Structure 1
Amino acid sequence: MPRPIIIDTDPGIDDALAIMLAAASPEVELLGIVAVAGNVGIEYTAPNAAALADLLGLDCPVGRGSSSPLWRTPEYAPQVHGENGFGGYSLPASERVLEPGVPLLARLIESSADPVTVVAIGPLTNIALLMAEYPETAQKVERFVIMGGGTLRDTGNATPTAEFNIAFDPEAAVRVFGFGVPITMVGLNATHQALVGAQHLPDLMASGGPAAQMVAHLLGSYSDDANADSGDTGMAQHDSLALAAVLDPAVIGTEHYRVDVENTGRLTTGMTVVDYLGRWGTPNCDVAFDVDVPRFRALLNTRLTALDSRLKEARS
């Protein structure tokens, strides 16, 4: 039986590839997509999520979530994702009615016959609000798979010590990591291993359909610090690696530790702190360390190629 999932996202270039991967994979049933402000403002992320759902032929609902962190001033990343979040790539505007995001999260969790996995690949604001407003519903989530944070030296891309999704709303992250539901953290120490370029997706690039065209543009327009030293090896696949870990757990190797989030430090706000020595109590998080990069690249290539073929057939 497919695993029911909800994607909470701030699309976002790498978010788009993650949503495509979910749409292409029979291991999961995508119950819904909920947008949150992050890479760019909610005025872009929510329409981007809806337009991408249209492109992929998804019949799941799309929600418009939080437009800002719990209390901080938002700091977006147009220098990485472009002003519109898709590196300038344009999709036809969707006519979908976007539901309020946090109530949609709650409704989808409650209405699912099986426990839901929430794949949170943006800032954690919506998830923290779910836990505050619908705590009993949030407790029913089987697992939160989070793209965020990092360990040791590979901890920060927003600041020297903080990854972007966590740094955007560290107060939300504190609430999520302390809530008590199982968490898998796929952080920068893992995603910076998962470099993917067009050369790693030969079947998709040869397909030439709507997904291939968009992916080629996105791979060519993404810019972050991890790619500066990667040469021709590709872009760090942050969000699609988190999604791949749901589809095929063997893609990553994890270890179980307690993780907390710094939200008051002058230099370290947004840092995910891993308790390797076991001094803070019971572990609360499966932390990704190792990545089977060839397995991950092959998964992307085969799944997105099959998706592109279906989209071409639908258009013919």
Structure 2
Amino acid sequence: MCSSECGEPGHCSDAGRSRLSQQQHDEDSTRVSPNQNEGNEDVTAWRASLVEESAYCNEEETLDERVEGALLALNEAIAQNNAMQASYTNAAQTLYELQRAAESELEDLKHRHWLWIDEIATFESNKREIKVAAAELSRISHALLVASEEEATADEALGVQKQLRETMSRDDADGWEAMKVVKQQLRARRDSARARVSKLSSEQRHYSNEVSRLTEKVLSMSYNIGSAFENALPFLSVKQSYIEKQQEQHLELVQQLERAEEAKARVRDAMRTLEEISMEIHEQRRRKDSSRSSDGADADDCDASFTDPPPNCAERSPAGSSVDVTGHQPALLAS
């Protein structure tokens, strides 16, 4: 129920009407309709909403402490992200410059020491081939042993079956048929194992000869390899130093990238927090706008009471009663 500016029950005075009209005009000038931006409201546009903050601050003239804290956190996160991105860019640039300088220097040294470098490369390649051939020889030797055992087992089983056939009766047709099937199966197993033994034996001889050949070659080269290493030392030293620096710089680059990703995550978290606060502020303003709209509707009802006063304005006194209006002061609309 609103308090009317009444001179007598049910009728508003000119002064009351003027005060109601002025207050209604003030509220309309500062009120934002809840449906004004309906359909295109961007709750993440916190920058624009903060600029308009003062228009909605009645008794709270200062910036919301939550917004201020969230802004400070966001600014700090952005500053850290920029610093981490700069560090990552510098690390990537350093690695790139290191690679270019090292490649140029190594190419020059390789051109001057190519003879010794090729000899060392051949020596190292032969050693790697020996390891590969030796590993393959070991695998084949084991497979050959297994196949030989399978062949021997099948031969032994065939010998036992032959002895059993000698003791069987000629009239046992079913037994002879079963023995025939078993004999065929044992022969198939033996023949398969024998074929594998033959193939594996050939491969074993090949890799055995290969290991012997490469070993002799490496031993022959080892007499002069020391001189080759000594002559190629400038190239080898620079290459080793470059490899170590490249590994260190690459590790630093990976660490910088991880820190940059963490900084980006902090920026996203800070923006999310600020957006949540912005949504809360928008909701608070919506409730205030709704309340003001309700108060405005009550004021319109009171204004309409000049011709047809509603029940929620001043109630009429019963017939025959007297109302003392001496000293009555106009009342403001309840907010």
TM-score (norm: length of structure 2): 0.14
Q: Judging by fraction of residues, say which structure has more strand.
A: 1
Relative contact order (alpha carbons < 8 A, sep ≥ 6): 1 or 2 greater?
2
- Name the larger-Rg structure: 2
Q: Judging by fraction of residues, say which structure has more helix.
A: 2
TM-score (norm: length of structure 1): 0.15
